[in-house]
Amino acid sequence: MPKISVIVTNFNGRQLLEKNLEKVILCSPQAGEVILADDASTDDSLSFVAELAQKYQKLKIITHRSNLGFGRNSNHAVKSAKGDLVVLLNSDIRPHPDYLLPAIRHFRQPDVFGVGFSEIHHPNWARIFWSGGYLQHEPGTDVSRPHISAWLSGGSSVVRRDLFLKLGGFDQVYAPFYYEDADLGLRAWKAGFRLFWDPQAVVDHRHEATISKFPRRFSDYVKERNRLLLVWRHITDPSLLRSHRWAVFSRIISGPNYLKIIFAARRQMNRYPLPSFPQKLTDLQVLQLFR
């Protein structure tokens, strides 16, 4: 069996850690280490985890002096992990016993980048398609068997550590949150790797994580900006780009405030260069996989 590291990301989530962290440890006997990746919390998260670490030697703590955001915090933790496979969990995830075993078997195939877990009441596997000038996604309907997924949730999946790092990890252009996992999934598919979702790898996701603590207006703004960035980072097909330009023009006409989102996305593009990775499939070829 490959070496496994479990990473739980946290920012001011003491109450969530109390509910879930010990459950993560107990339900992950295959893991050689469980890493709490704390993003400069200002509550007493660290004191709680330090106390729990006295009980479980496999529990380790990584923290930062300043808040890095979800992507950079996760990337740093993956680099620090010792496992061949890295489990990525949000602090509001509670895994079921043996949740890892069905997922691990997929890695017998060398071209598998990662496997997404099945969240209760929210299966969490994505079908991706192009419509209305943007990349769109919807949850799949067949939850009876394992199958490919467009991407893996950044807080509910297991990935190969070496491939995660080879592809550049989560792209910082999307900071502080939203679409990092979709972007990484598209890079993995374009690089010739496969992503799976398995209905037997079950976790309970309570959806109580950090994003809900931000003002709704700010979260909506970031989501719209990053939706643009996902297109600009990945779409090169001329016909798709033409439809995208018309869609953006329509958004500007119907709401001039959309210009602010466009300018914000441009600033992010100029600030963060596109991660380099080997590309074997085009954007159209990836989209065709999910028809």
Q: Does residue 233 form part of some domain?
A: no
Say which DSSP state 192 is in.
T
**Phi first, then psi: what are they for 227, rounded to 5°?**
-65, -40
Q: What is the pLDDT at residue 212?
A: 62
Give the model confidence (pLDDT) of 152-171 as tens digits: 999 999 999 999 999 999 99
Residue with tokens 């991660």: 275
Query: What is the extent of the structural domain holding 164?
Result: 4-212
State how many domains the chain has.
Answer: 1
- Write the burial class of residue 141 (CB in 10 Å: 0-12 exposed, 13-18 middle, 19+ buried): exposed
- My answer on whether omega of the bond before 176 falls inside 30° of 0, hence cis, is yes
The tokens for 242 are 């033409």
Q: How many Å separate Cα 260 from the centre of its chain?
A: 26
Report the CATH number that the domain containing residue 189 is assigned in CATH: 3.90.550.10
Q: Does residue 231 form part of some domain?
A: no
Strands 156-160 and 85-89: antiparallel
Q: Does residue 289 form part of some domain?
A: no
Q: Does residue 201 form part of some domain?
A: yes
State how far the Cα of 106 lies from the Cα of 113, in Å rounded to an integer.
Answer: 9
**Nearest CA among 113, 107, 121, 174 for reference residue 149:** 113
* List of residues 6+ apart from 291 with CB closer than 8 A: 129
Positions in the chain short of pLDDT 70:
207-213
Q: What is the pLDDT at residue 129?
A: 96
State how far the Cα of 48 lies from the Cα of 70, in Å rounded to an integer.
Answer: 21
Q: What is the pLDDT at residue 213?
A: 66
Q: What is the pLDDT at residue 197?
A: 96
**Other beta carbons within 10 Å of 63:** 15
Using an 8 Å Cβ cutoff, are 94 and 206 in contact? yes
Give the model confidence (pLDDT) of 195-223 as tens digits: 999 999 999 987 666 566 678 899 999 99
| pTM metric for this prediction | 0.94
State how far the Cα of 51 lies from the Cα of 228, in Å rounded to an integer.
Answer: 43
